[in-house]
Structure 1
Amino acid sequence: MLIKMIPEIGHYALIVALLMACVQAVLPLAGAATRRPLWMAYARPMAAGQLAFLLIAYGCLTASYMLDDFSVVNVANNANSLLPWYYKFSAVWGNHEGSVLLWSLILGVWTFAVGCFSRGLPPDMVARVLGVMGLVSVGFLAFVLITSNPFERSLPNIPADGADLNPLLQDVGLIIHPPMLYMGYVGFSVVFAFAIAALLGGRLDSAWTRWVRPWTNIAWAFLTVGIALGSWWAYYELGWGGWWFWDPVENASLLPWLAGTALIHSLAVTEKRGTFKSWTVLLAITTFSLSLMGTFLVRSGVLTSVHAFANDPSRGLFILVLLGITVGLSLLIFALRAPRVSQPGGFNWVSRDALLLVNNILLVVMTVTVLLGTVYPLLLDALNLGKISVGPPYFNALFVPLTVLLCVFMGLGPSARWKRMAGRELLTRLWIAGLGALVIGVAAPLVYTGQWNLKASLGLVAALWLVLSLVRDLWGKTSRAGSRLGALKRLTPAYWGMVLGHLGLAVTIIGVALVSNYSVERNVRMNVGDRVEVNGIGFHMTALDERRGPNYVSDAATIEVTREGASASFEMHPEKRLYIARGMPMTQVALRPGLFHDLYVAMGEELDDGSWALRVQIKPFVRWLWLGALLMAAGGIIAVADRRYRRRLSVREPEPVVTAREANAS
């Protein structure tokens, strides 16, 4: 009997979680406003209780999937008795209702974490932060219960079996990609809550930036990994061989990442110099608002995409209202309170302050560029002004030059001083790095292929400039010490995080430049015994077999691959699968990964004479795309280990004062 009631238990747990979120949202904020410690003290217990009941609800939905309870509409629409258990587990979030429940659960985890790791913060700040996060939880839990109940029953008409999970989602990448992406999306709610709490409390000082920087870095790192996993999944699962398509839903995850990157740099200036305060708060609000907008795009039905879930207008309207309220109220609070917490500060236009400001402006322009290209066609369609398509040519024409320009200023920043610096001194420090990047970047395509390629050279020069400027900065920071090794050990984790972040971007740019300009693709027709050669690599189809999986049947080819000058060969096994429950065909790509190139074979359709259409591709340096993303994420995590973020902070900490000696120090 208890097993049959699992969905009801989950439903009631969601209701209790919503009630606790309401208490968490109202009492702590009211207590902070009226200086009532007892009311403020409700924040942490309500956050813990909300998480506990969200875990119960999520556990109940997972149990319904594992037990094949097809009386639950969500399970019947997205699972099947033949589905392997690990895909049943991931099917919980492989649909609209389950993904929003996961979103709410992760928000509960972040809220609980803030409660646990904020013992050194003033009680009123903790109450405001947790209260704001409680308000966000109220909105999403109400959304789940009103429009997206994952526990809805189909009694008494229970289907004999489920419709199965979308074959596109039956992949290990989709087991880990959405949770990572949501950890990033939702993590920025912490930064948003700290920003609103600072505005309400009138406290936006260096101590505040040290509270908020670790949360920003962790959320940004999760989002970076989530985007990289999505790119990796699109590369091998869709069978097209592409790693980024400027799909509107892909753009929806890129937007908060760009704004979050600007926020990280702005926080550095606010902490060190006490300036850019209003800019920092506005970026915090913008980053979380863009995260909410990404949720709206995926779940509103306004987009047709392999990533999109919902097509119910009522759901889209609910999220749009929630987005409007969040953005509208936060901007109203910003307009009313920002003048009270802002602090003017001067700096020379040749200084690290100025370079970081230019970086932020470029990142914001890039964000607006992607936002316009994503939303403008939707607005025209919604207003019945016609349909237009904005594709890769628009994004590449604007985004790529902006990225190169961003790299120029990123390379200058670490070597510049705070507040003021002589332009000639900065030029003296970096002219060798700039010349080296230019010479190597221009010559590398000639060495690689024997022909010069402008686009590839541009990307390589930008990436090498980032790397060589970092090397010059490291050399300068250790040149005056007795032992270089000892000097390297004394550099802070925050500095090493910056180095890894910039290095990761350089590695990604190298991957983008080379795979975009030097990929080789051939569409071939092959049958057993046929052989083709692509760039000196031979592909020989030696067998074609029928196979059966747990919930699919497939035609699987065996391709023997030989290389020029190599005695050994290896086999690749592309498949064309047919998923039984949905009757949906899928391509299972065969990959031979490598640090310097991938071999990629995808089966198309069977042709009239019994042969098969195959796509054979050689993708140089494509792994560097994701290696760079992992380096960037590692940099964000390492920066959090800086000890200045772990020390207990006083209730009122003085603003940073930059002395003449500090301003002139390297």
Structure 2
Amino acid sequence: MIPELGQYALILSLCMSVLLGFVPLIGAARNNALWCGFARPLAVALFGFVLFSFLCLAWAFYSNDFSVAYVASNSNSALPWYFRLSAVWGGHEGSLLLWLLILAGWTVAVAIKSDNLPDDMRARVLAVMGLIATGFILFVLFTSSPFERYLPQMPQEGADLNPLLQDFGLIVHPPMLYMGYVGFSVAFAFAIAALLSGRLDAAWARWSRPWTNIAWAFLTLGIALGSWWAYYELGWGGWWFWDPVENASLMPWLVGTALVHSLAVTEKRGVFKSWTVLLAIFAFSLSLLGTFLVRSGVLTSVHAFASDPDRGFFILALLAIAIGGSLLLYAFKASHVKSESSFGFVSRETLLLVNNVLLTVSCATVLLGTLYPLLIDALGLGKLSVGPPYFNALFVPLGLLLMISLGVGTLVRWKQTSGALMLQQLWLPGVLALVAGALSVVSLPEFPGVWVSVGLVLAWWIVFTGLRDLFNRVRAKSSPFGAVFKQSRAYYGMMFAHAGVAVLVVGVALVSTFSEHSDLRMEPGDRKAFNDYEFVFERMDKVDGPNFHSDTGVIQVLYKGKPYTTMYPEKRLYTARNNVMTEAAIDPGLFRDLYVALGESLDGDAWAIRVQYKPFVRWIWLGGLLMTLGGILAATDPRYRKQARRDMAAQSA
């Protein structure tokens, strides 16, 4: 009965989304305040019905209702309750329902937090989000319903959740990633609403900025969590594989980063209006493209959901409508948009434009490397693999250029900066960066190569240009120390995000260059030296989990001859699917990780054991967390709310 209620709630949510998509939109076009006023209650009703449907599916998992086909395919009575609940989004159908829930959540959040928006603008934004929800609800109902039953026959036991997904990372990674993916629908909705209303001014950029910043922060966190999960769960010790599905999340992040910066220019200087709208369209379109790649079955990946090709065609149709319709509207409206001011060649506007171009070109290189093999295969021209050498060869130089422009753009002024003033601002951070970078390279065990050395110098460049900018802001104040605490949240959000880039680059550069590994054959009692450590294989234990049996190694680690820690790598056999999984043992640290993974059992009592030394690998995720914090600080700056109220008062007057 409860699954049927969930299905009925989905049908009712479709009715709400259709009404939300058309009634307020028509009301805004006809200047009908009554019809515009339906937007908020319809958004709340949409969220309520989708939430009820999601809770019905969660209950089916929690209660082991194996008459529901999706539950039977992705759960098992021996599965711990927390993994049964996270299994709700462990497969195709449930993850799309989670997508819908998050979309409905963003919609109701905009409805509740939009008091400072003009009624017609709010109506158009919510209507666009209602139309997006309509497409995805139709997709779920007609191709991917999670409530289909095995009746009258039903299995007595479920097939179990994929062992790779029986992990804390699955509980947090997909929701955070989807919050970012779907969050760009808000920026998209504001852009389309601005085009429809002809109100492409600084105000719409200001209204859109907090939502875009928070969506970008969630996507950043989701990508960082995905990298962290791959590192410790897949047993290879890698943190990024240029996997096509990883690329599917990176592409909207790159364009979203460009959008965040472009919105700032549009709000402050009234330029880049058309470009900002285009970036908003592309950011959400790339989110939809990522959904198509993951859900259509065209990719094979540890992250992908193999799926019926009919589902792929449905999403492709949604993608074509969203991109085609929005670009058609853009073609009609954007040509009438004029910039409100001009700027010189040496200015912050120019550097932010360079930033945008580099991010967009970086996204294009990733898009080409991801889609080109699929195109070659579809045309019957053979199989082609595009791997890390392609991406690294193109992406690394673009990233280094981006770091240079980031530092320069922090210190130049809006509108125009003289060459003499620019040199005055940049020479000291440049010298300090060169000195600090050289000292960093010298302190390493060996020369890391040109690219890594340049990366370390540029990481310091970002730090010192940021500090110089802060110094410029507070030095003229009567109380410089107090002025440090009076800077806006948006400013410190920028500082944290840029610092996160520097930390990330250091982590990537050093772990990629100085990682060490050794494949060992060890029997109980064996001692093997590795780096400054000695590994003593004490014994193998048999451990039974809730739904698996584990061979657990007990490995004593000595550092320079003294006991340091004990590590417990595992080889697990999940009984429901008879799958064998590797659970690595990791000793984490701020400056290095020790990583031990069990391989196959060998003759006698011997085991193949891989030990790895990962310097600065944690800095990769620390950088991601700093960028996330920066996005959240920027999004919560009260200036946006205060200015929105002033905009509202000005329009009312």
Superposed pair shares fold, TM > 0.5:
yes
Shift of 1:451: 3.5
**Further displaced range: 115-124 or 600-609:** 600-609
Q: What aligned pairs does 1:378-417 form with structure 2 within 5 A after superposition?
A: 378-417=374-413
Q: Name the residue aligned to 2:164.
A: 168
Query: For 1:498-529, what per-residue CA distance to the aligned partner results, in whole angstroms no more than 9, with x for missing partners?
Result: 10110011000000010000111111111101
2:352 corresponds, among 353, 356, 360, to 356
Residue 453 of structure 2 is matched in structure 1 by: 457
Normalising by structure 2, what TM-score?
A: 0.98
For residues 120 and 268 of structure 1, what CA distance do their matches in structure 2 show?
Answer: 19
For structure 1, which segment, 386-395 or 438-447, has the greater mean C-alpha deviation from structure 2 after superposition?
438-447
Give the drift of 1:450: 4.2
Is 1:226–2:222 an aligned residue pair?
yes
The worse-fitting range, judged by mean Cα deviation, of 601-610 and 94-103 is 601-610
Q: Within 1, Cα distance between the matches of 2:33 and 2:245?
A: 44
Shift of residue 424 of structure 1? 2.0
Matched, 1:628 2:627: no
The one-letter amino acid of 2:588's match is: P
Secondary structure (helix, strand or coil) at the match of 1:83 reads coil
**Is structure 2 residue 648 aligned with structure 1 residue 639?**
no
Q: Helix, strand or coil for the counterpart of 1:601?
A: strand
2:116–2:641 contact (8 Å) kept in structure 1? no
Q: Cα distance 1:452–1:314, how it changes in 2: closer, same or farther (>3 A)?
A: closer
Question: Which residue identity does 1:483 align to in structure 2?
Answer: S
Residue 207 of structure 1 contacts residue 653 of structure 1 at CA under 8 Å; is this kept in 2? no
Matches within 5 A, 1:487-636: 487-564=483-560, 567-636=562-631
Q: Is the 8 A contact 2:551 2:570 kept in 1?
A: yes
| 22, 28, 40: which one aligns with 2:24 | 28
- Is the Cα–Cα contact under 8 Å of residues 206 and 653 in structure 1 kept in the other structure? no
Corresponding residue of 1:662: none
Identity %: 60
Aligned to 1:177: 173
What SS is found at the alignment partner of 1:427?
helix
1:653 Cα offset (Å) = 5.4
Contact 2:300 2:306 in 1 (8 A): no
Do the aligned residues in 2 keep the contact of 1:446 with 1:452 (CA within 8 Å)?
Answer: no
Partners of 1:641 and 1:78 in 2: CA distance: 38
1:344, distance to aligned residue in structure 2 (A): 5.8
Structure 1 CA distance for aligned equivalents of residues 536 and 21 of structure 2: 64
Q: Deviations over 1:17-67 (max 9, x none)?
A: 001100000111111111111111111111100111111100000000011
2:11 paired residue number: 15
Contact 1:207 1:649 in 2 (8 A): no
Question: SS of the counterpart of 1:560?
Answer: strand
Q: 1:179 & 1:278 partners in 2: Cα distance?
A: 32
Structure 2 distance, partners of 1:461, 1:147, is 52
Distance 1:599 1:88 in 2: 31
Where 1:145 maps in the other structure, the secondary structure is helix
What does residue 443 of structure 1 align with? 439
Partners of 1:434 and 1:447 in 2: CA distance: 20
8 Å CA contact 1:546–1:553 kept in 2: the answer is yes
Show CA shifts across 1:610-652 (max 9, x none).
Answer: 3111110010000000011111010111112322211214348
Partner of 1:67: 63
2:144 equivalent to 1:148: yes
Deviation at 1:446, TM superposition (A): 2.3
Q: Which amino acid aligns with 1:587?
A: T
Q: Shift in Å at residue 448 of structure 1? A: 1.9
Change (3 A) 1:477 1:344: closer
SS in 2 for 1:532: strand
* Superposed CA offset, 1:48-91 (max 9, x none): 00111111100000000011000000000000010000000100
Instruction: State whether structure 2 residue 431 is matched by structure 1 residue 432.
Output: no
- Structure 1 unaligned residues grouped into runs of 5+: 655-666
| Alpha-carbon distance between aligned partners in 2 of 1:376 and 1:206, rounded to the nearest angstrom | 38
Q: Does the 8 Å contact 2:557/2:563 carry over to 1?
A: no
Determine the structure 2 residue equivalent to 1:664: none
Tell me the secondary structure at the aligned position of residue 349 of structure 1: coil
What's the CA shift string for 1:179-235, capped at 9, x where partnerless?
000000000000000000000000011111110000000000000000000000000
Give the aligned length: 649
Residue 435 of structure 1, CA deviation: 1.8
Coordinate RMSD, CA, aligned: 1.1
| 1:422-456 CA distance string (max 9 Å, x none) | 12211111112112212322332321214353232
Three-state SS of the structure 2 residue aligned to 1:322 is helix
Deviates further, 343-352 or 31-40: 343-352
- Structure 1 residue 95: Cα displacement: 0.2
**Structure 2 Cα separation of the partners of residues 480 and 266 of structure 1:** 29
- Shifted more, 422-431 versus 249-258: the winner is 422-431
TM-score, with normalisation over the residues of structure 1? 0.96
**2:194 is aligned with what amino acid?**
A
Q: Which sections of structure 2, spanning at least 5 residues, go unmatched?
A: none
